[in-house]
Structure 1
Amino acid sequence: MNHHPHTPVPCSPAQLVSDAKHALHTPAGLVGDTPVLWIGEPFTTAGRGFWAKLEGHNPGGIKDRTALHMVRAARERGQLLPGAPIVESTSGTLGLGLALAGAAYGHPVTVVSDPGMEPLMTGLLAAYGTEVDLVTTPHPEGGWQQARRRRVEELLAVHPDAWCPDQYHNPDNVAAYAPLAHELVAQLGRIDTLVVSVGTGGHSAGVASVLRGFFPRLRVVGVDTTGSTIFGQPAAPRLMRGLGSSIYPRNVAYGLFDEVHWVAAPEAVWAARRLARHHYATGGWSVGAVALVARWLARSLPAEDRIVTVFPDGPQRYVGTVFDDPYCRRHDLLDRLPADDPDEIADPSERIVTRWTRCARVTDPMVAAARSALAGAAR
């Protein structure tokens, strides 16, 4: 597992924002300082609610932050030469961030995706001058995600001067989110519970590790999707994009999490659509998933507990999926209200989960597998 660097705690919350350096009047200068919004009733129980950090106010979403940071750090280390190509696997949002970073620093960008990428996203990337390379067959074990990564390896072999950010394992992906955590402290002053979606592990580790420095008793709640392997469930076909994984990203900081929730696609759709109707602030799969969990925590925890979640992007990308009735009907996503409370399991290996489920025991599945193998060899 990567070791995440300790971030020094500034003297005051106000210093967190005043110390931020932005290249004003440039596209990159539009990234950061995103607003927070109070989400209360009717989405939540009367008198309860949570704060949402609206990362959709960045030009392309939350991954603008990590794309710019990873590219800048690679250039400073000499890993990415001036004008050299950038090649990366993505389901979409990082592609927009890399398009922005490529424009800011002068690099052509190729993103490798799969047929699940929305036409709107493909069109936007092409408009920004990004080449989209689509794989056509999923990997037999690692699914579309592994197939994309294999294609990235092929492209890097053909273009030896190209650079891959490797968002799944690059510690710069984690470090990029310290400013987001600093913004939250400056905006809210105190945070008791953080609810974050988990995919590559970047923003969950980056935000949570910094906030723990300010608030040692911070509760960190990870939100995954059913069918994802990150927290020890077996791989299964996944409709939701932007969270979950078919591999084990080393940027996931398992030791930071107090609990994990798995959310199914119909439950995320219900939450995203309800947010849109009643609060005019919403997004796609990740937003629906984290909002559902934050809504439950707002009802379950003491009223004075200050809960914060991160909305990674806005709704535009999902007009043809989450917010499209024919699409949702084809996938049986409508008229399936989530339960008031999640199912509970004591261990991620207890059973395969297919609906919203909570587990208070969080372990690294690769470490658990290694221990099991050692125990078997000892016998």
Structure 2
Amino acid sequence: MIQDDVFLHLGGAAQNIDLYLKMEGLNPAGSIKLKTALSMVEDAERRGVVGPGCRIVESSSGSLGIALAMVAAAKGYRFLCVTDPNTPALSVDVIRAMGSEVVQVDRPDASGGYLGSRIAFIHRLLADDAGLVWLNQYANPANWAVHDRCTAAAITAEFPDVDVLFVGTGTSGTLMGCINHFRRHSPATRIIAVDAVGSVTFGAAPEPRYIPGIGTSRRPEIFRPELVDDVVLVAEADTVRTCRWLARRYGLFAGGSTGSVVHAVLSRAPELPSGSRVVAIAPDLGERYVRTIYNDDWVADKFGPGCLKEPAEHLSELTTVRN
């Protein structure tokens, strides 16, 4: 069910490094979140928390909601996804198409985002329904553990000599799992987290954000910032420019999280030693962003018409796919 061994070689992304993208968008649920969803549900099953006829609830900005809707449908569970106005309409449609419910929370939290509000809403639901099970991706060790044994393990199996790993940071499950694995199996690998400008995860001031996936308005409980070697904060306008440029120039239809990660790599590449082997985790593809990142009117409204121009930096060569 899990596709974990496709790496796209971006040979000329930056002249001084050898860059590979781990293409998580090829998973059946369309993103890296399928591993998270399956891991948390199966962990809950083993612990006896989830069973026949169970109703699951989770907060999601889109990708995990789709993954959980897929898992719930396959296992016969009912699923309620709590979303917010930044959740792509297409993601909501997909969740509902698989038989799950969607509720949208539209009141911002104290940081100006919606994560705190989504979680507060879930707590109210739990108080009224003792049979409802919250998987809680923000505090659930099963979130990061699957990326230790699967995502990161697939990277070290393919590339035992990774110099630098770039990982996008939302709930931080992928990041924490990769750190745990690499510290055991490749301790010399430098791990750089990618976050959004306006996210509070690394202690920056909150700002409005419109693209789901990377960034939070509330620090997840599983996150341990002291384990990260470095962090790159990416402005959402740069995410948009990078996604659109990759699609139009090279046919790489990247999702928002992938665009952020690629931009982070390109911005840091000049500082890396020549010949560095770099792997970046590309969490998603672009289908769910056709009405936002790839829509001229939406981009101009949110970031101004200047954001429609191609970025100055660019990939000079797109080469092989390793599978």
Global fold match (TM > 0.5): yes
Of 58-67 and 272-281, more deviation after overlay is shown by 272-281
Bigger radius of gyration among the two: 1
Gaps of 5+ in 2: 314-323
Aligned to 1:55: 24
TM-score (norm 1): 0.77
Contact 2:256–2:286 (8 Å) recurs in 1: no
> Percent identity among equivalent residues?
35
Task: Say yes or no: does 1:223 pair with 2:181.
Answer: no
2:263 aligned to which of 292, 307, 317: 292
2:144 aligned to which of 174, 177, 202: 174
- Could you tell me how far apart the structure 1 residues matched to 2:179 and 2:252 are? 23
- Could you tell me how far apart the structure 2 residues matched to 1:141 and 1:291 are? 27
Letter in 2 for 1:139: D
1:222-248 deviation per Cα after TM superposition (whole angstroms, max 9, x unaligned): 111111111111222112210111111
Contact 1:266–1:336 (8 Å) recurs in 2: no
- Could you tell me how far apart the structure 1 residues matched to 2:18 and 2:253 are? 15
TM-score (norm 2): 0.90
Gaps of 5+ in 1: 1-28, 341-379
Contact 2:17–2:272 (8 Å) recurs in 1: no
1:207 aligned to which of 175, 178, 182: 178
Task: Say yes or no: does 1:256 pair with 2:224.
Answer: no
Cα distance change on mapping 1:303 and 1:295 into 2, 3 Å: same
- Could you tell me how far apart the structure 2 residues matched to 1:218 and 1:190 are? 8
Cα distance change on mapping 1:91 and 1:74 into 2, 3 Å: same
Task: Say yes or no: does 1:77 pair with 2:57.
Answer: no
Task: Say yes or no: does 1:103 pair with 2:68.
Answer: no
User: How is 1:7-26 mapped onto 2 (pairs within 5 angstroms)?
Assistant: none
Contact 1:70–1:165 (8 Å) recurs in 2: yes
Task: Say yes or no: does 1:32 pair with 2:8.
Answer: no
Aligned to 1:15: none
Task: Say yes or no: does 1:135 pair with 2:105.
Answer: yes
- Could you tell me how far apart the structure 2 residues matched to 1:297 and 1:140 are? 32
1:113-153 deviation per Cα after TM superposition (whole angstroms, max 9, x unaligned): 11222111111111011100111322344631111111111
Task: Say yes or no: does 1:310 pair with 2:281.
Answer: yes
- Could you tell me how far apart the structure 2 residues matched to 1:133 and 1:329 are? 28
User: How is 1:139-154 mapped onto 2 (pairs within 5 angstroms)?
Assistant: 139-141=109-111, 143-154=113-124
- Could you tell me how far apart the structure 2 residues matched to 1:187 and 1:276 are? 26
| RMSD of equivalent CA atoms | 1.8
